[in-house]
Amino acid sequence: MGMVLSESLKTIYLKFSLFLSFSYGFRKLFSTTPTVSQELFWNYKVETNTSDSHLLDGSFGTQTIHVNALRGMVSIRDNNVLSEWDGSMNYKNGLLAAKLFDKMACVLVKMDQAVFPTLDEIIRALGQQDSKQYPSTRGLTYTVLPSRVKNVAQYGMPIKDMCRAVPTYFAHQQKEGGALAVDPDSCFEIQLLSFMGLAICGEIPGL
């Protein structure tokens, strides 16, 4: 009888020890203290969606920018009463779409990688209190082409939704020195933070 009781106690002790070991491992796995891999995941998740608003120099409004790094997209809302516009920058296909409210038209341009800020530069700028550390030393001039874009949906749903109900045109980047031949009165100027300014020029219906 004593031997049976002893064996039973040993069995209970072993089961209890296994339970304690499992409980400790479970708590450690789901503890609030993040592991290195958890920290990397959380930091990446935070950085995939970034947004901020800035008051630009000489502007009568603010510019709100939202970055989705995972999709390679930047959304822009500029409520400047003198040059209100919405923008969508697609870094995967290198395309910028700008909806010019004063002209009631959308314009598509190819982003010059040598001039346009990178996605990482925009994210870093949004994390700074003062975006003036990125001087506006870069600017481009585009001439709007007369042919209207018929199938806007081929450039993605964000651009299609933004340009809904307004005509959409492509604009061609002017080579250095070629901007001198452009009529400045036909231009619509937009600014991207303090990185750069764009002049979208051309005589077309609605622009």
**What's the confidence (pLDDT) of residue 8?**
56
Phi, psi (rounded to 5 degrees) for 110: -80, 130
Burial class (CB in 10 A: 0-12, 13-18, 19+), 197: middle
pTM above 0.85? Answer: no
Q: Where are the domains of the chain?
A: 2-33, 40-201
10-residue mean pLDDT profile of the chain (207 residues): values are 49 49 44 37 43 53 86 91 90 95 93 89 75 55 92 93 94 74 80 83 68
Q: What residue type is assigned to position 116 of the chain?
A: F
Contact by Cβ (8 Å): 106, 162? yes
CA quadruple 78, 187, 173, 104: dihedral sign: positive
Q: How many residues does the chain have?
A: 207
Q: Which residues pair with 51 in a beta bridge?
A: 66
Q: What is the DSSP letter of 178?
A: G
8 three-class SS: helix
List beta partners, residue 63: 54, 78
